[in-house]
Amino acid sequence: MLSNMSTELIEIDSAVLRDLLKKRGLTRYDLAQRLEISTKTIQRWLNHSVRRVKLETLMKLAAALETSPEELRKNSPTVSVRTTDRAVEEICSTTFLERIRLTDDWHNYLALLKTIHAGQLSSEQRLLLFKNIGISSFYLAKFRACRLYLEQALELANLLDIPYQQVDILSWTARRAEAMGNFDQALHYLAKVEALLPTQNCMRTLAEYSYIKARVHHHLEQYEQSIGFSRQALLAEYARQNVPNCMLIAVKYWQMGNTYMRLRDFSKARMAYTRLMRASEKAGWVRGNAHGNYFLGLLQHFNDSPLATPYFGKARMLYRHASGTRFCPESSQAEFVYLLISQRYAESKVSLLRRLQKTRNTHLYFSLAVLDGLFLAKLHPATFTMRPSFIEKAKEYFRRQNMKSALQITETLEKKSTITHKELIQLYVF
């Protein structure tokens, strides 16, 4: 039944309306006269250029056609036009969300969002609420909840026909697929984003699209493409009309530095991590600062420089401060590498076991953690032994995703009984 819906806009089924006019032997002009509206309005309902009407209008239309409102109503979600809740508007704003990204306080933010009653919000605010719950769930590695909330947000964005929200939600959906290790799926969503980009004149959306694209190409070992998209993402961040967001700039340098590490281009990696550090310090982003210190320390270590130790000490202190309730597999990997090259094998094992437990719901990071476990097992067999079933699972994933380097190094390590510290440096996959 249609009741208590004065704040809802209801979609008319244009096909049913056309059939009823034909059955009743009425023209558009006849119906317009009965409703005391223009024939243009009737035409807009029929050609779907105006799809939704108030409940009162639907009731009058049903009476004029001698049918029930339910028959005319299209079976689709309704659009709420309730009054804007200013508190929700602030909490779900882009500015507020970026502050949360800076502090990494996703646990408390998600708890706050879940206290909001979605049914009491307008459709636009409900969209923002669902999107931000999806984003918070992503950062807390609750990937199933992330998918469900982003799907609901996208359904509302499509219904309301808000292209910039469609782009944003599809980008986060692609980011989730990338984190899960489903690269074909990530590229599928990115293709949808790319189709919508010409309708946007927003550097932020271009920057995020390019950043996710860079990450996917990085994982697929297409490094030149990854560097190209990282540069495009940085250019878009610097070209934003307002003051550039230093934290988001730092994120892009983080990705670029990681790709240069994969390429073993250590001079360019140092440049990227140094800029990551500068941007992180300007933004006050502790996690980015920790990551930069870890990898600058690793670069110093590869050059046999005694300056590596201060970097590592600062990195560990910052990482402990930044971790909170959120687990970051990339930062955890950086700490693991530091412990491994420092020959602190017992601590390496504790760090690795935590990663294996925390990444079980994502094929990508679990497989990379298994590969790290192989390095530890071959470098110091007395400390750790990697399960053969885990190794086979990782190898199968690398094959399926065509991650040739990761697969080759896994198979190389399997054949060795032990490796030296020098071989660790030569073979390690950053």
Q: What is the pLDDT of residue 3?
A: 43
Residues 210/230, Cβ–Cβ less than 8 Å: yes
What pLDDT, on the 0 to 100 scale, is given for residue 341?
Answer: 85
More confident residue, 12 or 373: 373
Which residues fall within 8 angstroms of residue 355, CB to CB, at 6 or more apart?
329, 332, 333, 336, 365, 369, 372
pLDDT reported for residue 76: 55
- Tokens 């020098």 belong to which residue? 422
Higher-confidence residue of 331 and 226: namely: 226
Mean predicted confidence (pLDDT) in 258-276: 94
Question: How far apart are the two ends of the chain, measured CA to CA in Å?
Answer: 59
pLDDT score recorded for residue 310: 80
For 72-90, what is each residue's pLDDT tens digit? 877 655 555 556 688 999 9
Query: CB of 302 within 8 A of CB of 270?
Result: no
Q: What mean pLDDT, rounded, does the chain reach?
A: 89
The pLDDT confidence band at residue 325, using thresholds 50, 70 and 90, is low
Question: Could you read off the pLDDT of 383-407 as tens digits, one per residue?
Answer: 999 999 999 999 999 999 999 999 9
pLDDT band at 159 (very low <50, low <70, confident <90, very high): confident
Go through the domains of the chain in sequence order and give each one's CATH number.
Answer: 8-77 (1.10.260.40), 82-199 (1.25.40.10), 201-323 (1.25.40.10), 343-430 (no CATH)
- The values of phi and psi at residue 79, to 5°, are -105, 120
Both tokens assigned to 143: 């990937």
The pLDDT value recorded for residue 335 is 86
Calpha distance 224→282 (Å, rounded): 29
pLDDT at 361 over 80: yes
CA distance 254 to 249: 9
Please enumerate in sequence order all residues whose Cβ is within 8 A of that of 225, keeping only pairs 6 or more positions apart, or say none.
214, 217
pLDDT at 5 over 50: no
- Cα–Cα dist 360/356, whole Å: 6
Q: How far are the Cα atoms of 122, 258, 267, 423 from residue 301, in angstroms, in the given order?
A: 55, 16, 13, 14
Dihedral angle sign, alpha carbons of residues 136, 134, 171, 330: positive
How far apart CA 20 and CA 37 sit, in angstroms, is 18
CB atoms within 10 A of CB 224: 10
CA distance 218 to 143: 21
Helices 94-103 and 246-262: crossing angle in degrees, nearest 10, is: 50
For 226-237, what is each residue's pLDDT tens digit? 999 999 999 999
**Predicted pLDDT of residue 2:** 44
pLDDT at 20 over 70: yes
How confident is the model over 298-319, as pLDDT tens digits? 888 777 666 667 888 888 888 7
Predicted local confidence at residue 317, as pLDDT:
83
* 391 vs 386: CA distance, rounded Å: 7
Contact 247, 279 (CB under 8 A): yes
Interatomic CA distance for residues 203 and 201, integer angstroms? 7
| Helices and strands, counts by H and E, the chain | 24, 3
* Exposed / middle / buried, residue 160 (Cβ in 10 Å: 0-12, 13-18, 19+): middle
> Shortest CA distance to 315 belongs to which of 284, 281, 350, 286?
286
% the chain with pLDDT above 90: 57
- Highest mean pLDDT: which range of 55-69, 76-90, 308-322, 409-423: 409-423
Question: In the structure, what pLDDT confidence band is assigned to residue 19 with cuts at 50, 70 and 90?
Answer: confident
Give residue 68's pLDDT band: very low, low, confident or very high (50, 70, 90).
Answer: confident
The mean-pLDDT minimum among 33-47, 125-139, 259-273 falls in: 33-47
For residues 398 and 219, give the distance between their C-alpha atoms in angstroms, rounded to a whole number: 10
